[in-house]
Chains A and B, each alone.
Chain A
Amino acid sequence: QKEVEQDPGPLSVPEGAIVSLNCTYSNSAFQYFMWYRQYSRKGPELLMYTYSSGNKEDGRFTAQVDKSSKYISLLIRDSQPSDSATYLCATSSGNTGKLIFGQGTTLQVKP
């Protein structure tokens, strides 16, 4: 079983749609949860991070963590063509800080 599972997609939505990207993880010791965005021909950039359970909002983006079900999600409201990218979830126990990445979900937002 992979430590972090993420549906690779691709996911195609119209502009303005609400998009939910999801990951599940297996290790209950994970406490840090991150979302990276990777544009084509670029390296990943940190989008949001959360510690333990709960929600975190930043503009059109909301990161949610449910530790009881080992489930993390990224909600994108009013999606824009500029949101078209691959979204990588990553987790860490914090003890070593080693990041465990999901496979990445490719999102395309059509004008």
Chain B
Amino acid sequence: ETGVTQTPRHLVMGMTNKKSLKCEQHLGHNAMYWYKQSAKKPLELMFVYNFKEQTENNSVPSRFSPECPNSSHLFLHLHTLQPEDSALYLCASSRYPLVAGEDTQYFGPGTRLTVL
């Protein structure tokens, strides 16, 4: 397995469910990110982790709870979501946190989330 992988690829959940999204990177990177991609909107940065420590929370509601047990794995725990949370959730990683250019971010394929 190479690059950035995400599971599941598709998820349908009710508003009272609890679920988790998983991301794994095989690039030896130190920083990992969660983004939300909604239709007709730019990618929204949600969380940033650097060496397992959260360095940015972009005013994300508490119903989204990230977890980074090590530099290779990132989780997004979901509970009591709203229908407007339906979107593509993308994980990304980079060698260093938030540096642009060559040391840029590599994305996984995303989890398509539908909240009923």
Contact = CB atoms under 8 A, between A and B. Distances in A.
Interface of A: 2, 4, 8, 32, 34, 36, 41-46, 49, 51, 88, 92, 94, 96-104
Contacts, number: 64
A4 B42 CA distance: 9
Contacts of A8: 40
Nearest to A89: B42
A41 B109 contact: yes
* Chain B at the A interface: SS class: loop
B107 A99 contact: no
Given A32-B100, A98-B98, A99-B105, A44 B42 contact: no
Given A49-B100, A97-B100, 19 more contacts: A4-B42, A8-B40, A32-B100, A34-B101, A41-B112, A43-B4, A43-B90, A43-B92, A44-B90, A88-B42, A88-B43, A94-B99, A94-B100, A97-B97, A97-B98, A98-B56, A100-B42, A101-B43, A102-B42
B55 to A, nearest CB: 10
B37 to A, nearest CB: 9
Contacts of B56: 98
Interface size class of B (residues with CB under 8 A): 20 to 34
B102 interface: yes
B106 interface: yes
A96 B40 CA distance: 26
Interface of B: 4, 6, 40-43, 45, 56, 90, 92, 96-102, 104-110, 112
B6 to A, nearest CB: 8
Contacts of B110: 42-43
Given A99-B45, A101-B43, A104-B42, A45 B101 contact: no
